[in-house]
Structure 1
């Protein structure tokens, strides 16, 4: 059970970017086609990824087992804790959006939150710019997150990331 509720460290940034691209597609579809029920799917995905990494996330499984290997690019390994933190932010935003949309019928407010998720996921998928990771680094610098949480993260802004040959 402990292994199920673990998060990979390090994380293949290629897979993280593929997942973020999938999140963009889901959010844009939900907003553009006024499909509020998709907010529950998006929220589930974030909760699954923050709790178990890609293990219980259909999008995570698709990214790590199918799309990333198909791309054939070498893995770019980055620290896992900042990515998990970013997934946590996505979970808070998407669960809040689902509650607003499905629980209270507040479409504008819910879609604004999904819009914020879309912006963050677009930055990650297109530019490899992880807003949650930058917040994580800032919180580490302020001492809010102890350095022991992620020794590899001490200088996350200047880190280029190691490369490997396996996804």
Structure 2
């Protein structure tokens, strides 16, 4: 079954392998920014996060590269609920927007610190598969701050589906 989505809709389930690849690409760009002093790359990262929050990988270069080129070469997809991943992308968006704002305000040290934080959390997801945003999403669900219907698959593993690579 092919899932039909509107252009600006996040997928209900996502390939964990593709998400980890995207996190790895974020690590590379954040590290490049920190190592070279090209802190303006925080704006580039913010655009990518905004595109992913709005529509998943559909319009984002990192997401497209991850879902169509790299992740299919990593074997069978591992499907996970989409809402926690979207929440994590939203956290990345806020972090990079704030980092860019501080850069524009003439406070590059704050931008550097925020990019270092992003680097740590993106590395945790990419290398170890630990999504801090997903973990926070789960805590918010348990606290009742995120309604259960937002992510039924988060609570019931039987609702998670295996789909072919690239979906």
Normalised by the size of structure 2, how large is the TM-score? 0.91
Distance 1:77 1:44 in 2: 25
Runs of 4+ in structure 1 deviating by more than 3 angstroms, as ranges, are 161-165
Q: Indicate how the Cα distance of structure 1 residues 123 and 164 shifts in structure 2: closer, same or farther if over 3 A, else same.
A: same
Distance 2:154 2:73 in 1: 29
Question: Counterpart of 1:151?
Answer: 152
Classify the secondary structure of the residue corresponding to 2:79: strand
| Alignment pair present for 1:125 and 2:126 | yes
Instruction: For residues 12-55 of structure 1, give each alpha carbon's deviation from its aligned partner in whole angstroms, at most 9, with x where no partner exists.
Output: 00000000000000001001100022111101000110111011
Tell me if structure 2 keeps the 8 A contact 1:140–1:154.
Answer: no
Question: Counterpart of 1:17?
Answer: 20
Question: Counterpart of 1:106?
Answer: 107
Gaps of at least 5 residues in structure 1 are none
Question: Counterpart of 1:81?
Answer: 83
Instruction: For residues 61-108 of structure 1, give each alpha carbon's deviation from its aligned partner in whole angstroms, at most 9, with x where no partner exists.
Output: 11111111233x10000000000000000000011111111x112111
Normalised by the size of structure 1, how large is the TM-score? 0.91
Tell me if structure 2 keeps the 8 A contact 1:137–1:154.
Answer: no
Tell me if structure 2 keeps the 8 A contact 1:94–1:114.
Answer: yes
Distance 2:97 2:137 in 1: 20
Question: Counterpart of 2:7?
Answer: 4
- The total of aligned residue pairs comes to 161
Q: Root-mean-square deviation (CA), in Å?
A: 1.7
Classify the secondary structure of the residue corresponding to 1:78: strand
